[in-house]
A and B are shown apart, each in its own frame.
Chain A
Amino acid sequence: MNIAVLSGKGGTGKTTVAVNLAAILKANYVDCDVEEPNGFIFLKPRNIRSQDVKVLNPVIDKAKCTLCGECVKACQFNALFNTKKEILVFEKLCHSCEACRIACGSGALSFQERKIGVIEEGEGDGLKCYRGILDIGEPMAVPVIRQLLKNVPEGFNLLDCSPGTSCNAVSSLRYAQGAILVTEPSAFGLHDLKMAVKLVREFSLPFGVVINKWDESGYLLEVYLWQENIKVLGRLPQARKAAEEYSKGRLLKDLPLYQAGFTALAEEVKEVFLCS
């Protein structure tokens, strides 16, 4: 079973929740935030194996190309350009759909692989860790996320997703059977939580909310959750100590202030997602 950890707003504590929960539940940890994966800093997996992620981009055989421009018309992503002397390919805009190859009447198009990132896996303390890393300068994360999630093992996997509700978060959710939404008591946290709730409801996924950096200021958030009848899986207190430990790459689950909160959260997660 794959449980996605997402938030809408960035910096609410997706990774904090995901790595600590994975460590407590001995769940496999999968870092899907491939533009800035940081979960390995906390879980410190060993024996890392990696494989490349490649996409297919068109190559034009100039000897066969008639410069008719049909490939350019077929491309929905403006990845091809006809200068009337040659066809130029903008590889980073290409979505590898191969419509250009179908449109080409003279068989001038073939495809070649281009590396855009890597998938890594390794062993943490009693759990497996996976992550995708998008190469610097590459704009498209979805192929990396897809290859990462196609290769996760059976069992209980926690997917640490990208912030936001765009393609990157959506493509992780496609592989999830449930979701944990992490939010904070700020106005931004609430605003973006509402977008994340809309998204998981669109996917008809069972979900619950974790309020991180919890304090009394989150009145509007509590009202919203109550009105929408959304399950609160746990509340983790706001404390400077958490930021200090995080900055050193340490887990919070054994800190006196957080131990009870994380243990209770882990129990709730087990009950909601694993026993239903």
Chain B
Amino acid sequence: MKIAITSTGKELTAGHDPRFGRCAYFLIYDTEEDTYKAVENKGQLAGGGAGIGAAQQMTDEGVQVVLTGNLGPNAYNLIKASGIKAYQCKAVSCQEALALYKAGKLLEISQAGPSHAGMS
């Protein structure tokens, strides 16, 4: 199974990014192989529809689980429609986020957060 963690950097020790559409990287962790890779979020600098672009990357990468802070309305609907489970996480590092998920301590995201939440 593939788990995507929204991240500020390319390593598991990097900070966990609570934003979905505007995060810098997705760390995609493969539970069978116990390996991970960093994928740049193509939608990061998009003028609009960043969450849609990010959700498309998740389906293209064959991800089944997403660990992030919030999902905006479009991203939430697409993640749901694609059969991906999303979990809310307030962890400091990506490593910690993964550990919390494995320990079953994360809650599934059951509603969309506000749009453009990560924009300042």
Contact = CB atoms under 8 A, between A and B. Distances in A.
Contacts, number: 38
Interface string B39-71: 000010011111011011001100000000000
Given A83-B59, A84-B59, A93 B52 contact: yes
Given A72-B56, A84-B59, A90-B74, A78 B48 contact: yes
B95 interface: no
Interface string B76-117: 001001100000000000000000000000000000000000
B43 to A, nearest CB: 6
Interface residues of A, number: 13
A77 B74 CA distance: 14
Interface string A64-102: 000001001000011101111000101001000000000
Interface residues of B, number: 16
Contact of A83 (B48, B53, B74, B82): B82
A68 to B, nearest CB: 12
Given A77-B47, A78-B43, A78-B46, A83 B52 contact: no
Contacts of A81: 52, 55-56, 78
Interface in A151-206: none
Interface of B: 43, 46-50, 52-53, 55-56, 59-60, 74, 78, 81-82
Interface of A: 69, 72, 77-79, 81-84, 88, 90, 93, 139
